[in-house]
């Protein structure tokens, strides 16, 4: 089986762990690799490319179902890539929405930190801001 890698070698080559590879195989994202007479998995270059695709897609936040769809389409080279574009656009929109929420969170935290001048806890502007419109003294103990 020259030119193939063990599961440990494949994991190291792609930068994931062995359990992840087994899981991806179990759920059908990776085809069952060839096996030796001793039933040891042996991964081909094509398996590594597919595994690298899955790992990178996960890093970009694509769901396993979205990855499965993209892989299914990539197995048909003559197919239109419009579905993949739609999936990537939807993911981009989610990322942009998350960035907007994080930006608002950052601005709110910055305002709280800037607005609090220290002193006694009873006068803490951060605790007051987090308590919202409850009014009165807030005992968080």
Here the tokens at position 81 are: 């890539």
The 8-class DSSP code of residue 31 comes to P
| pTM assigned to the model | 0.76
pLDDT digits 0-9 by tens, 57-103: 999 999 999 999 999 999 999 999 999 999 999 999 999 999 999 99
Here the tokens at position 9 are: 């070698």
The answer, yes or no, to whether residue 1 has pLDDT greater than 60, is no
Distance CA 110, CA 83 (A): 40
- The residues pairing with 42 across neighbouring beta strands, listed in sequence order, are 34
CA distances from 35 to 4, 15, 47 (A): 10, 22, 13
Q: What is the mean pLDDT of residues 117-126?
A: 82
Find all residues with CB under 8 Å of 45, minimum gap 6, and list them.
3
First to last CA, the chain: 65
pLDDT digits 0-9 by tens, 20-58: 999 999 999 999 888 988 889 999 999 999 999 999 999
| CATH number for domain 1-61, candidates 3.40.50.10490, 1.10.1660.10, 3.40.630.10, 1.10.760.10 | 1.10.1660.10
- The residues pairing with 5 across neighbouring beta strands, listed in sequence order, are 43
The answer, yes or no, to whether residue 137 has pLDDT greater than 60, is no
Q: Which of 97-101, 106-110, 135-139 tops mean pLDDT? A: 97-101
- Reported as a pLDDT band with limits 50, 70 and 90, residue 133 is low
């Amino acid at each position: 089986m020259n030119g193939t890698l063990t599961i440990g070698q494949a994991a190291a080559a792609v930068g994931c762990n062995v359990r992840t590879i087994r899981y991806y195989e179990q759920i059908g994202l990776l085809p069952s690799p060839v096996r030796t007479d001793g039933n040891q998995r042996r991964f081909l270059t094509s398996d590594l490319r597919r595994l690298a695709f899955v790992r990178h897609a996960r890093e970009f936040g694509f769901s396993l179902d979205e990855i499965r769809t993209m892989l299914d389409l990539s197995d048909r080279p003559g197919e239109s890539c419009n579905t993949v574009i739609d999936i990537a656009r939807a993911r981009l929109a989610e990322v942009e929405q998350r960035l907007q929420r994080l930006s608002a969170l950052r601005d709110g935290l910055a305002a709280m930190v800037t607005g609090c001048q220290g002193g006694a806890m009873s006068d803490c502007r951060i605790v007051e801001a987090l308590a919202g419109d409850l009014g009165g003294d807030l005992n968080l103990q």
